[in-house]
Amino acid sequence: MRLLTTVAALSCYLTQRRLENKCLVPDDLALDEMSSWDRTAIGLVPTMGGLHQGHLSLMQRARQENSTVIVSIFVNPLQFSPNEDYKSYPRTLELDMHLCEQAGVDLIFAPTPEEMGVSQKSIQESKVTQVIPPSAMITGLCGGSRLGHFQGVATIVTKLFNLVQPDRAYFGQKDGQQLAIIRQLVADLNFPVEIVACPTLREASGLAFSSRNQYLSASEKQQAAVLYRGLQQAEAAFKAGVRNSEELIAAVRQEVAMVTNVLVEYIELVEPNTLMSLVTVKEEGMLAIAARLGSTRLIDNILLSDRLPIIAIDGPAGAGKSTVARQVAAKLGLVYLDTGSMYRSVTWLVLQQGIAIDDECAIAELASSCEIQLTPSQDLQSPVQVWINGTNVTQVIRTVEVTSKVSAIAAQTAVRKALVKQQQSWGKRGGLVAEGRDIGTHVFPDAEVKIFLTASVTERARRRQEDFKKQNLPEVNLEQLERDIAERDWKDSTRKVSPLQKAADAIEIQTDGFSASEVTAKIVDYCEQRISQLSSL
């Protein structure tokens, strides 16, 4: 791990790193490796230091998904007003470095304000060019009392994006307003960066981890936990059927009022992406609170959603993921997210429009603008009907011509990014069963149920040999199949970007000796139990 403090050194490091990474790209990416190997996969975790377990979770997620992880540590003067705690804000670089090393970070970028081209003044006093988010997003919630705060955040985040040019940037859900604003910033200014939102981590009491928790005494931390208890009361009311903002807010306020030292600044229910106030929750709402305990200002929020569950099934090649995922979806009445058909659909459209397979620019344009729909069907042979731009392509995407070209199309980064974006968009509505190698760790990290389906190398080789026989293909020696599978497992599990691994909250199911229907029954039983548990929380 390196520590750099200048823009010149950062630029030099990134140039070298990108050259090194080009040598790491495997030349045998196959269709079912949907985890988007990126030649310059750089993950950025922007922080102001004072790192804690919440930051650690961001860094660990970035380490999982990128070949290079950079953490910026910069106490940004532009986001502090003259009467706020800029000078006393926690600065713990030595401890921060230890936590970064623990998470496997490659580089810490810790510039001074002068190096970042800003003076140690508030945004109102600064003469630097400013990035100003939409006024509707910065006047409510924290924007009401922290004038200029989000302009300061947006200005420095923009500078960091330009300097690092990351593929992904990681932010915590605890700062829900900041997260929404940065997403809007990226969309409006066309930054080629994926914003990854990570769940709020909490202390044992429920208090959300925050750098400012260092200001609190042990007894104050216990008192501050009432913010989350209030949000939990509202969540319980929501699960009981309450959708009206007044009732949900009242549930929070009633609980928080029990700790008289906590002075509420606001409790509001807003749409999580636009931050517009909600009268009732129709799809999803963010219930946010800000309060003061002594001189310390604390924020927290919780997402309220009626989303149907997402079931993510990951595992190595030959574990039976596709067959089982289809059966689980049918048993539970959910949609099977047939990602393979999505790539086949794009390939069919490329061929229909006469686009050359190596014309990546034209294919990128087509993939980013096409609309794919997957709908359940009673047809046992085709349980999912596939549509692209209004045309049913369920049968035609299985032709030899499409099959022979789909690997080349799937290997293109722009295609993968466009289709993962569509998959995640569908995921917002829920009600999906999806399978792959990084479905639970990357595509749907917030899936309600995560399964890691596996089998011994010997069992998977035997299954593959049987498949070859059924398809009247030339027989392959069992020992050779075992060697091929073992090598594939090693490649999948050791690659730096989105490696094959079990999500921390997934259960592992060993399928040796079990039929697909038996494995399906196990998963369905677990899913029903898990969903019931979540509903009662």
As annotated, the active-site residues are 55
CB burial of 129-151 (b: ≥16 within 10 Å; e: otherwise) equals: eebebeeebbebbbbeebebbbb
E strand intervals along 237-283: 262-270
- Compute the radius of gyration of the chain from its Cα atoms: 25
Sign of CA dihedral 156, 158, 163, 167: positive
Burial of 229 (0-12, 13-18, 19+ CB in 10 A): middle
Q: Which amino acid is at 258?
A: M
Is residue 153 a contact partner of residue 76, using CB atoms and an 8 Å limit? yes
Strand pairing report for 507-510 and 449-454: parallel
State how far the alpha carbon of 90 is from the alpha carbons of 51, 184, 345, 445, in Å: 9, 29, 52, 31
Between CA 51 and CA 108 the distance in angstroms is: 12
Spatial contact of 300 and 174, defined as CB atoms under 8 Å apart: yes
The stretches of 302-433 forming alpha helices (DSSP H) are: 321-332, 339-352, 360-369, 400-410, 413-427
- Rounded Cα distance between 231 and 499, Å, is 36
Provide the CA 260 distance to its chain's centre, in angstroms.
Answer: 37
For 515, the token pair is: 């039929």
Q: Return the amino acid letter for 500.
A: L
From residue 462, alpha-carbon distances to 314, 469, 475, 512, 520 in Å are 20, 11, 11, 11, 20
Q: What is the Cα–Cα distance from 485 to 32, expressed in whole angstroms?
A: 14
Per the listing, tokens 């030099």 go with 12
3-state secondary structure of 222: helix
How many CA atoms are closer than 13 Å to the CA of 177, on its beta-carbon side?
28
Encode 133-173 in three state secondary structure. Answer: CCHHHHCCHHHHCCCCHHHHHHHHHHHHHHHHCCCEEEEEC
